[in-house]
Structure 1
Amino acid sequence: MIRELLILIASIGILVASYRLWVEKDRKNIVYARIHILGVIDCACFLIFLALGETLLAFTYLILTPFLAHAIANASYKDELKEET
């Protein structure tokens, strides 16, 4: 029962965050806003993996996704600097 409830809550979080991912279009730094929204989805996926008993996969996911988000943000920042000069 607790497992299904945890999966349901995380799934609702993923749906709400995904909706916000596609709605936000008119912000100045949209890349950073989208990375934040994807962070919410990452946390929900981590909880789902734990609920399903995939502990190793959950912690691998938890460790690797911040590095990916940082790489995307860094690439966007450096691209913005190139456009200014």
Structure 2
Amino acid sequence: MIELIKDILIFISSLGILIASYRLWIERDRKNIIYARIHILGVIDCACFIIFIALGKILLAIVYLILAPFLAHAIANAYYKDKYKDSD
């Protein structure tokens, strides 16, 4: 029964990753597309965290949960600073 629950969690999370990845490629005509893409990547991060928990990789899930928001913030910060660097 536990294996069935793990398989269901992995399937649902994988489906979420596929849908979010598809949204990454079709969203192109927004003004601040980088922020929309970072939000979509946040959805993928949550799904990956659930997959790691389901697979029993608790330590890897914790490391991923700690490092993924820092990565998203670094990407957004670099985009913001680069965007306004040229206008000075």
Fold-level match, TM-score > 0.5? yes
Alignment of 1:1-85 (within 5 A): 1-85=4-88
Displacement over 3 Å in runs of 4+: none
Percent identity (aligned): 72
Q: Any unmatched runs of 5+ in structure 2?
A: none
What is the aligned length?
Answer: 85
Tell me the distance in 2 between the aligned counterparts of 1:55 and 1:3. Answer: 14
**When the two structures are superposed, what TM-score results if normalisation uses the length of structure 2?**
0.94
Using the TM superposition, give the Cα deviation of residue 82 of structure 1 relative to its aligned residue in structure 2, in angstroms: 1.2
Structure-1-length-normalised TM-score: 0.97
User: Whole-Å Cα distance in 2 between the matches of residues 58 and 8 of structure 1?
Assistant: 17
RMSD value over aligned CA atoms? 0.6
Unpaired runs of 5+ residues, structure 1, are none
> Could you report, residue by residue, the CA deviation over 1:26-72 in whole angstroms, capped at 9, with x for unpaired residues?
10001111000000000000000000000000010000000000000
